[in-house]
A and B are shown apart, each in its own frame.
Chain A
Amino acid sequence: MGLKVRHIAVRFALLLGIAAVVPLLAYGFVSLLSLERGTHDSIVAGNRNVATRAAEEIRRYVVTNAALLKALAADLQDTGLDQRQQDQILKNYVLDFREFREITLFDEAGGVVATSRIGSPRVSIPKDKGIVIDEVSMSPIRVDDDLLPTSVFAIHLTRLNRPSGWLVGEFNLEEMWRMVDQIRLGEHGFALVVAPDGQLIAHGDPDKKALIARQRNMTAHRLVSAVRARNDGGPSSEEYVDDAGRTELGVAARIPQLGWTLIVEQPTDEAYGSARQLQRQLVVAIAAALLVMIAIGYLFGRSFITPILTLKRATHAVAAGQLDTRVNIQTGDEFTELGDSFNTMADRLIELQENVKKTERSAMFGRVAAGLVHDLLHPIQNVANNTRLLLREDLDNEGRQDCGRVIDREMTTIKRFLDDLHSVVKPKPLERFIMDLNLAVKDVVDSMSQEGQRSGVAIEGAYVPGSLMIVGDRFALGRVFRNLITNAIQATEAGGRVSIATSRNGKTVEVNVTDTGSGIPADKLSSIFEEFVTTKRRGLGLGLAITKRIVEQLDGTIAVESEVGRGTAFTLRFPARDTESAQAAAS
């Protein structure tokens, strides 16, 4: 029963799953995939954008400082300043522009004209022009006395289209570090700058500035080679594991004018952190929606199944005979209507039951009345007829004696009938004695032979030799056998036969009453021992009920086998009491 409920629940859960959960999960899965892919692409694109812009800022920074030196050169040239003034300008310049650690003005022969330094100049006219930025040459990155990278800007001055000297400035890469320090991606994303020869010249990570001092060559960095291999000059991005074993999302952008490469590194944990957080939030949201849906489904399913369970319980109660069971379903939907219908049905069942009882009582009364009429009419008519004969004066003595015998016999019949009725209403206690069943059966068979002859039915008795001792009530057993033989005679057409046989089977004594009559239909065979059940057209149907009750009171059993058209066989079994019989005989 519970399994059925579960089946309903499972079906409902499946319905809910198919209708809502599965689509939601599918939606969530697709959303997560697209979110991951989309955010990954957008983060990489964002970092590429940052790297590109940062590269441009660094380029502009360097170019601007080159322009500053060029502007200074313009200030110094053709303005008629004396050496002291030029010297003062240079000193003020390095104070105002920290990017230049030193600026020195040389004449064409290499002699020092003016310098920002208090002492002797440290810079000299570069022999290698390096790259040229708007007439300002920028030397390749070199290592200074402190083994830190540095670069030198130089402008070849001209006067009247003739070389007139050099303005040389030492470009402070450490000042550029401040700018690189400001290029940040999240908390742990830093930028680094690589010179054309692979030398690391700036690193935004404070912990990795030591790499600059150690003159780390970054040529082997996969992004350096990747971005340099690109023909379109665009940025390159890759994920790789750094020296610390951390997976980094790196983006490299070239600064073509300087030949530098700018790399922006960010740990993937951080780069994709927000996306992963979004994913987690989405998973939580989907899970929450799923739980809410399941909860709603559970509540809805419960409200759906509860009326069904209520109706089921009520139905079982009604089936068990509790017709006063009613349901109270207030869901306001079809279940309420179904509950009301159930209650109406139960009310109607009570009415029908009452009607059936009335009908049954009427039928029973009819059957009892008919049985009384049937069973009593003939004896009473015989009594009445013979009584009228007795009143006639012309009846001789022999006739009078015959009438008296008939009246006596019919009165006996009436009495027996009334005794049966009485037995049904108030069973008579049995008087148990050791008795010989053979004799009891033989007496009844003999007494009913004439009745059989009148009906054209042969009554045959077959008795096991010797005595069959049982504990019984001779009178009650006589009624049992008379009932069975009477029924057999009534069920047997003239010419038929009724056989009564006794036998012993171990410790059991058996009596078989067999007829060749019409037989009992199989569907009625199980109820023939019930009161007021009969297969005959007339009669109260009490005989077999009384018979069964008496047999069972004597610790016996009665069984019936019948086949319509061939006859019926009753088998009665009683415990044999030979030992008591012997003791009784001895005493």
Chain B
Amino acid sequence: MGSLFTAIEHIAPTKEGDEIEISFQERSPLLIEAMEAPAIRKKGAGGGTGPFFMTTSSATGMQANPNYYLGPPAIQQIEIARYDSVRSAWADMLRERVDMLYDVGLDALDSLEGSSNIAVYRFIRKFQYIIAFNSAARVLQPPEIRRALNASIDRDHLVKEALHGHGVASTGPLWPQHWAVGRGTLRPAFDPEAAAAAFGAASTESRGQPTIRFTCLVPADAVYGRIALEVKRQLSQVGVDMALQEVSLEQLDHAISGRNFEAALVEGLSGPTLYRPYQLWHSGGVFNPGGLGNKSSDRALDALKNAKSDDDYRVAALGVQQAFLNDPPAIFLAWTERARAVSKRFVVPSVESGRDVLSTIRLWKPPTGDLRASRN
């Protein structure tokens, strides 16, 4: 549970012996929401409480948990294959070398959806594309610049052009369907004229030249590339020159954790609880690579952590949104619509609309008599 782990006073079984009691040193709604996050397992330790756990012998294998409390899964073993790009994985899915795609690329969605051999399950991910700022970067230090950058982006247009409509314009750091956020979502307004004026006021450059220049790190992926190019185009229309630098994921992690960047296009896990944005944006958050957020966001997130009641929690959530609007540590672009693709060689129970089909993986099973589903 990250830094909140320190809040645990003790864990002890109840007298009945079939439950455990967790005592915290302090009161925080985030502690309850932290239960949603998977436990961090010590590398190579194996084991787990879910329907599947990593095998100790293989870094890419998972095996069924025969003691899973809802019953052992029908699938005995899962082999995970890593691909450099979503397109490569999709191509192997077409070749029927894999049974499931964890992430179907936007390019592949249309091609796979019509197939009678592959079932595609769409859902809105709890991740969103963001261009995170390094608050230490000189050009991005003024809050008004970062506010103007947020106001420069037409997110709906971005979703349409870069994501081909497969996404939802972002409203901020918090999952908009969280009960504490509700309908009172604060979102940055798209106001390119005001943004251009702000950039002009801050500029020291000569006429005809971009007033604001910074470099954005972009992972080497087609979708990231399109988003980056679209953002670059929109920013250029308000006089911002956002240079793009393609980096690998390792390079990106290294740059962010070392605060050796100005901006970075990343996908940030921001839901479904407020625990996630807390851990991502708080300077002490376990999911914060080190360079994300700022003092304003820390204060707002602390208020969230220290809320004593539901009402306090709602007020704190509003405060977080307001803080991120006033002193935005990033440009929040879009929640991504993604899809899992599952070969119809598996019988997959139906799931509620928008829910991740992986939540039912323990119930997946190949048709009778076909125990080895994949052909690889």
Contact = CB atoms under 8 A, between A and B. Distances in A.
Chain A partners chain B: yes
Interface of A: 88, 91-92, 94-95, 101, 116-120, 145-148, 174, 177-178, 181, 206-207, 209-210, 212-214
12 contacts: A91-B232, A92-B229, A116-B229, A117-B225, A118-B245, A146-B91, A147-B91, A174-B107, A206-B112, A209-B115, A210-B117, A214-B94
B226 interface: yes
Contacts of B228: 118
Contacts of B19: none
A146 B87 contact: yes
A148 B222 CA distance: 15
A95 B162 contact: yes
B95 A213 contact: yes
A116 B229 CA distance: 9
Given A117-B246, A206-B115, A178 B91 contact: no
Contacts of A148: 87, 91
B302 interface: no
A229 B114 CA distance: 34
A95 B230 contact: yes
B49 interface: no
Contacts of B374: none
Contacts of B117: 207, 210
B222 A101 contact: yes
Contacts of B94: 209-210, 212-214
Contacts of A212: 94
B116 A207 contact: yes
A210 B236 CA distance: 41
Chain B interface helix/strand/loop/mixed:
helix
Interface residues of B, number: 33
A95 B222 contact: no
* B87, B94, B111, B117 interface centre (most CB from chain A within 10 Å): B94
Contact of A95 (B112, B113, B233): B233
Interface in B80-97: 85, 87-88, 91-92, 94-96
B91 A213 contact: yes
Contacts of A118: 218, 220, 225, 228-229, 244-246
* B107, B113, B116 interface centre (most CB from chain A within 10 Å): B107
A64 B82 CA distance: 38
B110 interface: yes
A94 B230 CA distance: 10
B79 interface: no
A91 B95 contact: no
B95 A210 contact: yes
Interface of B: 85, 87-88, 91-92, 94-96, 107, 110-117, 161-162, 218, 220, 222, 225-226, 228-230, 232-233, 236, 244-246
Contacts of A120: 246
In the A-B complex, list the 10 residue pairs whose CB atoms are closest, starting with the nearest: A119-B246, A206-B114, A213-B94, A206-B115, A118-B246, A118-B244, A210-B94, A146-B91, A146-B88, A213-B95
A148 B85 CA distance: 13
A88 B87 CA distance: 25
Nearest to B228: A118
A146 B220 contact: no
A92 B234 CA distance: 10
Given A119-B246, A213-B91, A214-B95, A95 B161 contact: yes
B88 A91 contact: no
A506 B115 CA distance: 112
Contacts of A147: 91, 95
Nearest to A212: B94
Nearest to A116: B229
* A92, A95, A147 interface centre (most CB from chain B within 10 Å): A95
A206 B111 contact: yes
B191 to A, nearest CB: 22
Nearest to A208: B115
A209 B108 CA distance: 11
A116 B110 CA distance: 24
Nearest to B248: A119
A210 B246 contact: no
Contacts of B244: 118
Contacts of B112: 206
B98 to A, nearest CB: 12
Nearest to B245: A118
A95 B116 contact: no
A155 B85 CA distance: 29
A174 B225 contact: no
B246 A95 contact: no
Given A91-B229, A214-B95, 17 more contacts: A94-B226, A95-B162, A117-B246, A118-B218, A118-B228, A146-B85, A146-B87, A147-B95, A181-B111, A206-B114, A206-B116, A207-B115, A207-B117, A209-B94, A209-B115, A210-B94, A213-B95
Contacts of A119: 220, 246
Given A95-B233, A117-B225, A146-B85, A209 B111 contact: yes
A178 B114 CA distance: 12
Given A146-B87, A174-B107, A210-B96, A181 B114 contact: yes
